[in-house]
Amino acid sequence: MDKYAIEGTPKTPSISFDLNAGILEIKGRSIPENSIEFYKPLVDSLDKYSSAAKPATTVNVQLEYFNTSSSKCILDVFKKLESIHKGGSAVTINWHYEEDDEDMLEAGEDYQAIINVPFKMVMVAE
Amino acid sequence: MVDVFDIYDKMERNNILLSFKGEITSDLLTSILQIMENKMDNMQEEPKIKKKVYNVLVECLQNLYHHLDEMSEDELDRSKSAIFMIGKESGRYSIFTGNYILNENIIPLKARLDEVNSLNKEELKEYYKKVLNNGEMSLKGGGGLGMIDIARKTGEKIGYNFLEIDNKVSFFTLNIKITNN
Protein backbone atom coordinates (compact mmCIF):
# COMPACT_ATOMS: atom_id res chain seq x y z
CA MET A 1 0.00 0.00 0.00
CA ASP A 2 1.14 3.54 -0.48
CA LYS A 3 0.27 7.15 -0.36
CA TYR A 4 -1.51 9.51 -2.70
CA ALA A 5 -0.52 13.13 -2.19
CA ILE A 6 -0.75 16.30 -4.23
CA GLU A 7 0.15 19.89 -3.46
CA GLY A 8 -2.49 22.58 -3.33
CA THR A 9 -2.82 25.32 -5.97
CA PRO A 10 -4.92 28.53 -5.99
CA LYS A 11 -7.74 26.51 -7.54
CA THR A 12 -7.27 23.02 -6.15
CA PRO A 13 -6.84 21.66 -2.62
CA SER A 14 -3.92 19.71 -1.25
CA ILE A 15 -4.78 16.06 -0.85
CA SER A 16 -2.95 13.59 1.31
CA PHE A 17 -4.16 10.03 1.50
CA ASP A 18 -2.12 7.66 3.58
CA LEU A 19 -3.54 4.26 2.66
CA ASN A 20 -1.47 2.49 5.33
CA ALA A 21 -2.72 4.69 8.13
CA GLY A 22 -6.25 5.10 6.75
CA ILE A 23 -6.06 8.90 6.90
CA LEU A 24 -7.32 11.17 4.15
CA GLU A 25 -6.91 14.95 4.27
CA ILE A 26 -8.34 17.49 1.84
CA LYS A 27 -7.40 21.10 2.50
CA GLY A 28 -7.62 24.46 0.76
CA ARG A 29 -9.67 25.67 -2.17
CA SER A 30 -11.51 23.53 -4.63
CA ILE A 31 -12.59 25.72 -7.52
CA PRO A 32 -11.20 24.06 -10.66
CA GLU A 33 -13.10 24.44 -13.94
CA ASN A 34 -12.83 20.71 -14.49
CA SER A 35 -13.26 19.04 -11.14
CA ILE A 36 -14.02 15.56 -12.49
CA GLU A 37 -10.51 15.34 -13.89
CA PHE A 38 -9.07 16.66 -10.64
CA TYR A 39 -10.88 14.23 -8.32
CA LYS A 40 -10.50 11.11 -10.48
CA PRO A 41 -7.12 9.99 -9.03
CA LEU A 42 -8.49 10.31 -5.50
CA VAL A 43 -11.61 8.30 -6.37
CA ASP A 44 -9.32 5.67 -7.93
CA SER A 45 -7.14 5.44 -4.82
CA LEU A 46 -10.25 5.06 -2.67
CA ASP A 47 -11.28 2.17 -4.89
CA LYS A 48 -7.87 0.62 -4.36
CA TYR A 49 -8.05 1.26 -0.60
CA SER A 50 -11.54 -0.25 -0.26
CA SER A 51 -10.26 -3.75 -0.97
CA ALA A 52 -7.85 -3.56 1.98
CA ALA A 53 -9.26 -0.86 4.23
CA LYS A 54 -7.90 -0.33 7.74
CA PRO A 55 -10.23 -1.01 10.72
CA ALA A 56 -10.71 2.75 11.02
CA THR A 57 -10.57 5.48 8.40
CA THR A 58 -10.30 9.14 9.32
CA VAL A 59 -11.16 11.86 6.85
CA ASN A 60 -10.34 15.50 7.47
CA VAL A 61 -11.93 18.00 5.11
CA GLN A 62 -10.92 21.62 5.59
CA LEU A 63 -12.02 23.66 2.62
CA GLU A 64 -11.95 27.41 2.39
CA TYR A 65 -13.99 27.55 -0.80
CA PHE A 66 -15.47 25.01 -3.16
CA ASN A 67 -17.45 25.51 -6.34
CA THR A 68 -20.56 23.63 -7.38
CA SER A 69 -18.49 21.76 -9.93
CA SER A 70 -16.48 20.28 -7.03
CA SER A 71 -19.53 19.60 -4.89
CA LYS A 72 -20.66 16.59 -6.92
CA CYS A 73 -17.12 15.21 -6.96
CA ILE A 74 -16.87 15.61 -3.20
CA LEU A 75 -20.15 13.73 -2.94
CA ASP A 76 -18.63 10.95 -5.06
CA VAL A 77 -15.64 10.79 -2.70
CA PHE A 78 -18.03 10.58 0.27
CA LYS A 79 -20.06 7.86 -1.45
CA LYS A 80 -16.90 5.79 -1.81
CA LEU A 81 -16.24 6.36 1.88
CA GLU A 82 -19.80 5.29 2.64
CA SER A 83 -19.24 1.96 0.92
CA ILE A 84 -15.89 1.56 2.74
CA HIS A 85 -17.80 2.22 5.98
CA LYS A 86 -20.39 -0.42 5.06
CA GLY A 87 -17.53 -2.76 4.23
CA GLY A 88 -16.38 -2.71 7.86
CA SER A 89 -13.87 0.12 8.25
CA ALA A 90 -15.16 2.67 10.78
CA VAL A 91 -15.11 5.88 8.77
CA THR A 92 -15.34 9.30 10.41
CA ILE A 93 -15.56 12.49 8.36
CA ASN A 94 -14.35 15.60 10.19
CA TRP A 95 -15.83 18.58 8.32
CA HIS A 96 -13.99 21.77 9.28
CA TYR A 97 -15.50 25.24 8.93
CA GLU A 98 -14.36 28.66 10.02
CA GLU A 99 -16.18 30.28 12.90
CA ASP A 100 -18.13 32.81 10.83
CA ASP A 101 -18.64 30.61 7.78
CA GLU A 102 -22.24 29.45 8.06
CA ASP A 103 -22.31 28.52 4.38
CA MET A 104 -19.49 26.02 4.89
CA LEU A 105 -21.19 24.57 7.97
CA GLU A 106 -24.44 24.19 6.01
CA ALA A 107 -22.57 22.55 3.14
CA GLY A 108 -21.21 19.99 5.61
CA GLU A 109 -24.70 19.39 6.98
CA ASP A 110 -26.00 18.82 3.44
CA TYR A 111 -23.46 16.03 2.96
CA GLN A 112 -24.19 14.67 6.41
CA ALA A 113 -27.88 14.39 5.44
CA ILE A 114 -27.06 12.43 2.28
CA ILE A 115 -24.15 10.22 3.36
CA ASN A 116 -24.54 7.44 5.88
CA VAL A 117 -21.22 7.93 7.68
CA PRO A 118 -20.57 9.63 11.04
CA PHE A 119 -19.75 13.31 10.50
CA LYS A 120 -18.18 15.65 12.99
CA MET A 121 -18.55 19.38 12.45
CA VAL A 122 -15.32 20.97 13.61
CA MET A 123 -15.24 24.73 14.13
CA VAL A 124 -11.92 26.40 13.40
CA ALA A 125 -11.16 29.76 14.99
CA GLU A 126 -9.97 32.30 12.46
CA MET B 1 -14.14 57.44 -32.08
CA VAL B 2 -14.97 55.54 -28.90
CA ASP B 3 -16.25 57.83 -26.19
CA VAL B 4 -13.95 56.59 -23.46
CA PHE B 5 -15.13 59.19 -20.98
CA ASP B 6 -18.72 58.08 -21.49
CA ILE B 7 -17.78 54.49 -20.61
CA TYR B 8 -15.71 55.70 -17.65
CA ASP B 9 -18.48 57.97 -16.41
CA LYS B 10 -21.12 55.24 -16.61
CA MET B 11 -18.88 52.87 -14.70
CA GLU B 12 -18.06 55.51 -12.12
CA ARG B 13 -21.72 56.35 -11.58
CA ASN B 14 -22.55 52.69 -11.13
CA ASN B 15 -19.66 52.22 -8.69
CA ILE B 16 -18.02 49.54 -10.76
CA LEU B 17 -14.92 48.10 -9.05
CA LEU B 18 -13.85 45.88 -11.90
CA SER B 19 -15.10 45.07 -15.35
CA PHE B 20 -14.02 42.94 -18.24
CA LYS B 21 -15.23 42.38 -21.77
CA GLY B 22 -13.85 39.64 -23.98
CA GLU B 23 -13.21 35.95 -23.99
CA ILE B 24 -13.24 34.32 -20.57
CA THR B 25 -10.28 31.98 -20.18
CA SER B 26 -9.18 29.90 -17.24
CA ASP B 27 -6.19 32.20 -16.59
CA LEU B 28 -8.34 35.30 -16.74
CA LEU B 29 -10.70 33.76 -14.24
CA THR B 30 -7.82 33.12 -11.85
CA SER B 31 -6.64 36.73 -12.25
CA ILE B 32 -10.06 38.29 -11.68
CA LEU B 33 -10.55 36.23 -8.55
CA GLN B 34 -7.16 37.25 -7.25
CA ILE B 35 -7.75 40.94 -7.99
CA MET B 36 -11.12 40.89 -6.25
CA GLU B 37 -9.70 39.05 -3.28
CA ASN B 38 -6.94 41.66 -2.93
CA LYS B 39 -9.42 44.50 -3.34
CA MET B 40 -11.67 43.12 -0.64
CA ASP B 41 -8.67 42.60 1.65
CA ASN B 42 -7.60 46.21 1.06
CA MET B 43 -11.11 47.43 1.78
CA GLN B 44 -10.95 45.34 4.97
CA GLU B 45 -14.16 43.64 4.03
CA GLU B 46 -15.73 41.40 6.67
CA PRO B 47 -14.68 37.76 6.15
CA LYS B 48 -18.30 36.68 5.94
CA ILE B 49 -19.24 38.93 3.02
CA LYS B 50 -15.86 38.41 1.41
CA LYS B 51 -16.48 34.68 1.28
CA LYS B 52 -19.96 35.12 -0.14
CA VAL B 53 -18.74 37.50 -2.85
CA TYR B 54 -15.86 35.16 -3.71
CA ASN B 55 -18.11 32.12 -3.93
CA VAL B 56 -20.70 33.85 -6.08
CA LEU B 57 -17.95 35.27 -8.31
CA VAL B 58 -16.55 31.81 -8.90
CA GLU B 59 -19.96 30.48 -9.93
CA CYS B 60 -20.75 33.45 -12.19
CA LEU B 61 -17.38 33.42 -13.92
CA GLN B 62 -17.35 29.67 -14.37
CA ASN B 63 -20.85 29.86 -15.84
CA LEU B 64 -19.52 32.30 -18.41
CA TYR B 65 -16.44 30.18 -18.99
CA HIS B 66 -18.36 26.94 -19.56
CA HIS B 67 -21.04 28.65 -21.52
CA LEU B 68 -18.54 30.12 -23.96
CA ASP B 69 -17.13 26.66 -24.26
CA GLU B 70 -20.51 25.32 -25.32
CA MET B 71 -21.03 28.09 -27.81
CA SER B 72 -17.65 27.79 -29.47
CA GLU B 73 -18.92 25.35 -32.08
CA ASP B 74 -21.33 27.95 -33.23
CA GLU B 75 -20.04 29.86 -36.21
CA LEU B 76 -20.65 33.21 -34.57
CA ASP B 77 -17.46 34.87 -33.39
CA ARG B 78 -19.33 37.32 -31.21
CA SER B 79 -20.68 34.47 -29.12
CA LYS B 80 -17.22 33.98 -27.64
CA SER B 81 -17.26 37.36 -25.99
CA ALA B 82 -18.83 38.10 -22.63
CA ILE B 83 -19.02 40.98 -20.19
CA PHE B 84 -18.51 40.87 -16.47
CA MET B 85 -18.80 43.71 -13.93
CA ILE B 86 -18.73 43.95 -10.18
CA GLY B 87 -19.86 47.01 -8.30
CA LYS B 88 -20.23 48.06 -4.70
CA GLU B 89 -22.62 50.65 -3.38
CA SER B 90 -23.34 51.30 0.30
CA GLY B 91 -22.02 47.92 1.42
CA ARG B 92 -23.94 46.03 -1.23
CA TYR B 93 -22.16 44.17 -4.00
CA SER B 94 -23.67 43.66 -7.44
CA ILE B 95 -22.34 41.25 -10.01
CA PHE B 96 -23.42 41.63 -13.62
CA THR B 97 -22.67 39.21 -16.40
CA GLY B 98 -23.72 39.26 -20.02
CA ASN B 99 -23.25 36.77 -22.83
CA TYR B 100 -24.89 35.64 -26.05
CA ILE B 101 -27.05 32.59 -25.95
CA LEU B 102 -28.87 30.70 -28.66
CA ASN B 103 -32.57 31.58 -28.71
CA GLU B 104 -33.50 27.92 -28.45
CA ASN B 105 -31.84 27.77 -25.02
CA ILE B 106 -33.83 30.63 -23.52
CA ILE B 107 -36.94 28.71 -22.47
CA PRO B 108 -35.20 26.04 -20.36
CA LEU B 109 -32.84 28.59 -18.80
CA LYS B 110 -35.68 30.97 -17.95
CA ALA B 111 -37.66 28.10 -16.44
CA ARG B 112 -34.70 27.16 -14.24
CA LEU B 113 -34.15 30.72 -13.07
CA ASP B 114 -37.86 31.21 -12.33
CA GLU B 115 -37.94 27.98 -10.38
CA VAL B 116 -34.91 28.98 -8.29
CA ASN B 117 -36.42 32.44 -7.72
CA SER B 118 -39.70 30.95 -6.54
CA LEU B 119 -38.12 29.00 -3.68
CA ASN B 120 -37.50 30.11 -0.10
CA LYS B 121 -34.38 29.35 1.94
CA GLU B 122 -35.54 25.93 3.17
CA GLU B 123 -36.84 24.91 -0.25
CA LEU B 124 -33.55 25.96 -1.86
CA LYS B 125 -31.65 23.79 0.62
CA GLU B 126 -33.82 20.77 -0.24
CA TYR B 127 -33.61 21.48 -3.98
CA TYR B 128 -29.82 21.79 -3.74
CA LYS B 129 -29.52 18.42 -1.97
CA LYS B 130 -31.85 16.81 -4.52
CA VAL B 131 -29.84 18.07 -7.51
CA LEU B 132 -26.54 17.32 -5.76
CA ASN B 133 -27.60 13.73 -5.24
CA ASN B 134 -29.42 13.09 -8.53
CA GLY B 135 -26.44 11.27 -9.98
CA GLU B 136 -26.32 13.52 -13.01
CA MET B 137 -23.05 15.08 -13.87
CA SER B 138 -22.64 17.57 -16.65
CA LEU B 139 -19.30 17.50 -18.43
CA LYS B 140 -18.14 20.41 -16.31
CA GLY B 141 -19.30 18.69 -13.17
CA GLY B 142 -21.78 21.16 -11.73
CA GLY B 143 -24.89 19.60 -13.15
CA GLY B 144 -27.15 22.60 -12.65
CA LEU B 145 -26.19 23.50 -9.09
CA GLY B 146 -24.72 26.93 -9.83
CA MET B 147 -27.87 29.05 -9.78
CA ILE B 148 -29.29 27.22 -6.77
CA ASP B 149 -26.06 27.81 -4.90
CA ILE B 150 -26.01 31.52 -5.81
CA ALA B 151 -29.60 31.96 -4.65
CA ARG B 152 -28.86 30.11 -1.40
CA LYS B 153 -25.72 32.04 -0.58
CA THR B 154 -27.08 35.49 -1.43
CA GLY B 155 -30.62 35.04 -0.12
CA GLU B 156 -31.72 37.31 -2.97
CA LYS B 157 -33.68 36.78 -6.16
CA ILE B 158 -31.53 36.43 -9.27
CA GLY B 159 -32.14 39.27 -11.71
CA TYR B 160 -31.99 38.37 -15.38
CA ASN B 161 -32.90 39.58 -18.83
CA PHE B 162 -32.87 38.26 -22.39
CA LEU B 163 -32.43 40.82 -25.13
CA GLU B 164 -33.21 39.42 -28.54
CA ILE B 165 -30.52 40.37 -31.04
CA ASP B 166 -31.78 38.45 -34.08
CA ASN B 167 -33.61 35.22 -34.88
CA LYS B 168 -30.62 33.19 -33.74
CA VAL B 169 -29.16 34.72 -30.61
CA SER B 170 -30.08 36.84 -27.62
CA PHE B 171 -27.95 38.66 -25.08
CA PHE B 172 -28.48 37.18 -21.65
CA THR B 173 -27.71 39.27 -18.58
CA LEU B 174 -27.60 38.26 -14.96
CA ASN B 175 -27.64 40.59 -11.98
CA ILE B 176 -26.77 39.17 -8.60
CA LYS B 177 -26.84 41.16 -5.39
CA ILE B 178 -24.90 40.30 -2.28
CA THR B 179 -25.64 42.02 0.99
CA ASN B 180 -24.47 41.30 4.46
CA ASN B 181 -27.50 39.66 5.98
CATH of the domain at A44: 3.30.750.24
- Give the CA distances from residue A66 to residues A28, A61, B164, in Å, rounded to whole numbers and listed in that order: 9, 11, 34
Give tens-digit pLDDT for B19-53.
999 988 899 999 999 999 999 999 999 989 999 99
Inter-chain CB proximity A68 and B66 less than 8 Å: no
Give tens-digit pLDDT for B60-104.
999 888 876 566 555 556 667 899 999 999 889 999 999 998 899
Give tens-digit pLDDT for A84-109.
999 999 999 999 999 989 999 999 99
Residue A9 CB contacts under 8 Å (≥ 6 apart), including other chains: none
Which residues does chain B have within 8 Å of residue A69's beta carbon, measured at their own beta carbons? 62, 140-142
Q: Which of these, B140, B121, B118, lies nearest to B59 by C-alpha position?
A: B140
Phi then psi for residue A110, to 5 deg, are -60, -45
Q: Which of B30, B54, B139 has the CB atom closest to A11's CB atom? A: B30
The count of domains in chain A is 1
Q: d(Cα B120, Cα A119) in Å, to the nearest integer?
A: 27
Inter-chain CB proximity A68 and B142 less than 8 Å: yes
Q: By the 8 A CB rule, do B50 and B40 touch?
A: yes
Inter-chain CB proximity B137 and A36 less than 8 Å: yes
Mean model confidence pLDDT for chain A: 95
Which residues does chain A have within 8 Å of residue B48's beta carbon, measured at their own beta carbons? 100-102
Task: Record the pTM.
Answer: 0.91
Give the mutation candidate from A63, A66, A68 for the B interface (greatest B CB count, under 10 A): A68
More confident of the two residues B142 and B131: B131
Does residue A33 belong to the interface with chain B, where contact is any CB pair within 8 Å?
Answer: yes
Residue A3 CB contacts under 8 Å (≥ 6 apart), including other chains: A16, A17, A18, A19, A20
Torsion of CA B175, B176, B180, B181, to 10 degrees: 110
What region does B144 belong to: left with phi over 0, alpha with psi -120 to 50, or beta?
A: left
- ipTM field: 0.92
Domain boundaries, position A62: 3-124
In residues, how long is chain B? Answer: 181
Domain ranges of chain B: 4-178
Å from B25 to nearest chain A CA? 10
Q: d(Cα A107, Cα A15) in Å, to the nearest integer?
A: 19
Which percentage of chain A shows pLDDT scores above 70?
Answer: 99
Residue B172 CB contacts under 8 Å (≥ 6 apart), including other chains: B98, B99, B100, B101, B106, B109, B160, B161, B162, B163
Q: Which of B54, B132, B141 has the CB atom closest to A35's CB atom? A: B141
Does residue A65 belong to the interface with chain B, where contact is any CB pair within 8 Å?
Answer: yes
Q: Which of these, B26, B34, B110, B113, lies nearest to B68 by C-alpha position?
A: B26
Tell me the fold of B4-178.
Answer: Heat Shock Protein 90 (3.30.565)
Q: By the 8 A CB rule, do A119 and A108 touch?
A: yes
Separate counts of helices (H) and strands (E) for chain B: 6, 5
